[in-house]
Structure 1
């Protein structure tokens, strides 16, 4: 992974404002080595899944809702308040101890995106959009199966990335217009 990040630096990537990824120890270490000082955001979708997987299935609907509220806030202070609410709710039930441990250990890493403007947080808190894009690239590649040359593969990938970029820009324009209208 360090090689990939070094290659990005060699191609002109300087200091990213934030890097979002899963909580893979080798990846985190490579990010810290190649981009020291860059905040790291733990993917909230995967983090929530890690927590809910150890929660009891029965009788935990309210606790699950309180847990989700932590990551549906737009400021670190609101996230901390929602976390305290969740902890108070489950404090008397030992079935939630492991979930609480996981939450406590990764909470600060999972709210780094809340330091960014609210309109951008949606795009920064999870790796799901990137995973969706990669799936779409693989799906299109399977349809073509055999490319006549490397350039044709690059053209397909480039066209898909341009489409994704346009869709992102349009979504961002709509979000920005909505935020400005509310102010």
Structure 2
């Protein structure tokens, strides 16, 4: 890899060491050390530099693409319900490298705009004949303690008989006001009046429907 980067710098400069030529683009400026992760473990490379600082070996561009793919794999684990602690342990087993839980958590923040776009998408392009509404309770870590919260879920059956989650919202508890707000948001996003709404017998939910 060191030899490969050296050749790349030669090609970039268009001149060998100490060679005088009108085609020369820049001048050599030593090396700097950088760690590089391979499947066999970590190695230390001597990365060649130029005076202008514009030369960049292609080795690390390939590494960056691999790094992005690895980050996406970690995100997929999180989406599928794997805890940040388990993701951290998997990374350490695969790479022998320590990854903090806060790093994994910061990665999941990249999902926020994706989820927000999905959650606010228009519902006017499909007609949902039947809509199922219900709440499930999940444990959430909030202000350094674990609390129980209600997740309101609306599932629609479209004209192609495909079920689709059309709404999702987290609230402190089930109440008429919260259900009414949730259903109004669905209408505001373009939900047309269905033939039937299916729910349990929660009085606040029935009143909101």
Common fold by TM > 0.5: no
Kindly name which structure, 1 or 2, has the bigger radius of gyration based on alpha carbons.
2
More strand by share: 2
TMscore range, shorter length: under 0.3
TM-score, normalised by the number of residues in structure 2: 0.24
Return the structure number with greater relative CO, CA threshold 8 A, min gap 6.
1
TM-score, normalised by the number of residues in structure 1: 0.26
